[in-house]
């Protein structure tokens, strides 16, 4: 994020932002590769003070790494590259909170697998998303963004998915067979969904936040804009609960496609990242 050097050094930062402008398996609206730069640009205009937390989260320090340019040789090679990078980064980061900025969702299996290994399997995933992303293969590869949670599922089935409103029959069957905790979007209209989503999670949680979780009214700037999605306050309720009641080890925010004329989407994403850092570094 855009901060003065004294609040952004590696040494003194409690949070680390990793921009991953990867995009190679898009379905409809392209542009996710411009997501990280747009979020960082918009972060200039996010106020440091947070009136809900009543403090300035950036005082905990937020270090932003340079953009990493993954290979364009194909998604499998790219995820492999990213996995190696994450292993080194998490080792170096210690207890710093690393948050990745996509780029397309296919990148998320790299940090999830890295964390599963670091925690000997004791990891749950909170997925905020419009799509299940549970396909076995898509457009000729198992590493397409539409398959990312299926890749996650190969290592852990402790997944709590929220906001889902677009999936195939095959994916619906996987949810049933594997018992994936799922709050469909239409279920978010009934009280208690936040509690249900958190209960399905174990002690250690990785959050993968696809911004198409939000209704397109709030975030039009994404590839496949499904109507009937969550609001800002839906996200805030869920994040407040999960950061308050669980140990969030890492996170990513993906699929922002900052097309022209949609600055509000980038600004929202920047504030979302800042809010997550604020919740994580709460004294």
For the bound state, the minimum distance from the C-beta of residue 249 to its own copies, rounded and expressed in Å, comes to 26
For the bound state, the minimum distance from the C-beta of residue 116 to its own copies, rounded and expressed in Å, comes to 24
Q: Binders of its own copies among 121-150, rule CB under 8 A? A: 138-141, 143-144
Single out the residue of 1, 70, 149, 183 in contact with its own copies (rule: CB under 8 A).
70
Is 190 a binding residue for its own copies by CB under 8 A? The answer is no
* 55 vs 118, beta carbon nearer its own copies: 55
* 234 vs 252, beta carbon nearer its own copies: 234
> What is the number of residues in the chain?
283
Is 262 a binding residue for its own copies by CB under 8 A? The answer is yes
**145 near 106, Cβ under 8 Å?**
yes
Query: Cis bond leading into 103, ω under 30°?
Result: yes
Exposure string for 129-162, b = 16+ CB within 10 A, e = fewer: bbbbbbbeebeeebbbbbbbbbbbbebbebbbbb
* 49 vs 88, beta carbon nearer its own copies: 49
**145 near 208, Cβ under 8 Å?**
no
Q: Binders of its own copies among 46-65, rule CB under 8 A? A: 46-49, 51-52, 54, 56
For the bound state, the minimum distance from the C-beta of residue 174 to its own copies, rounded and expressed in Å, comes to 12
Query: In angstroms, rounded to a whole number, what is the distance separating the alpha carbons of residues 201 and 241?
Result: 11
**102 near 254, Cβ under 8 Å?**
yes
Single out the residue of 1, 15, 33, 79 in contact with its own copies (rule: CB under 8 A).
33
For the bound state, the minimum distance from the C-beta of residue 171 to its own copies, rounded and expressed in Å, comes to 8
* 10 vs 48, beta carbon nearer its own copies: 48
132 CB-near residues (< 8 Å, 6+ apart): 149, 161, 164, 166, 167, 168, 171, 172, 174, 175, 182
Single out the residue of 7, 14, 166, 241 in contact with its own copies (rule: CB under 8 A).
166
Query: In angstroms, rounded to a whole number, what is the distance separating the alpha carbons of residues 216 and 209?
Result: 15
For the bound state, the minimum distance from the C-beta of residue 144 to its own copies, rounded and expressed in Å, comes to 5
């Amino acid at each position: 994020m855009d901060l003065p050097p004294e609040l952004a050094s590696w040494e003194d930062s409690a949070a680390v932002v990793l921009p991953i402008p990867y995009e190679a398996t898009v379905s409809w609206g392209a542009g996710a590769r411009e997501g990280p730069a747009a979020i960082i640009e918009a972060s200039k205009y996010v106020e440091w003070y947070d009136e809900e937390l009543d403090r300035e989260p950036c005082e905990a320090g937020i270090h932003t790494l340079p953009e990493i340019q993954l290979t364009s040789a194909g998604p499998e090679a790219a995820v492999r590259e990213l996995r190696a990078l994450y292993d080194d980064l998490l080792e170096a980061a210690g207890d710093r909170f690393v948050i990745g900025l996509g780029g397309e969702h296919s990148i998320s299996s790299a940090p999830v697998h890295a964390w599963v290994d670091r925690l000997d399997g004791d990891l749950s995933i909170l997925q905020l998303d419009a799509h299940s992303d549970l396909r076995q293969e898509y457009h000729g590869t198992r590493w397409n963004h539409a398959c990312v949670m299926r890749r996650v599922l190969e290592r852990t089935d402790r997944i709590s998915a929220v906001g889902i409103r677009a999936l195939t029959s095959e994916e619906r069957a996987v949810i049933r067979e594997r018992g994936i905790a799922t709050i469909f979007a239409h279920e978010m209209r009934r009280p208690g969904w936040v509690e249900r989503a958190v209960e399905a999670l174990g002690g250690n949680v990785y959050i993968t936040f696809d911004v198409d979780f939000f209704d397109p009214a709030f975030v039009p700037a994404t590839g496949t804009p499904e109507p009937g999605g969550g609001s800002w306050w839906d996200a805030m309720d869920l994040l407040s609960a999960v950061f308050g009641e669980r140990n969030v080890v890492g996170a990513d925010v993906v699929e922002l496609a900052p097309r022209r004329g949609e600055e509000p989407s980038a600004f929202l994403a920047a504030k979302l990242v800042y809010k997550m850092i604020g919740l994580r570094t709460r004294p």
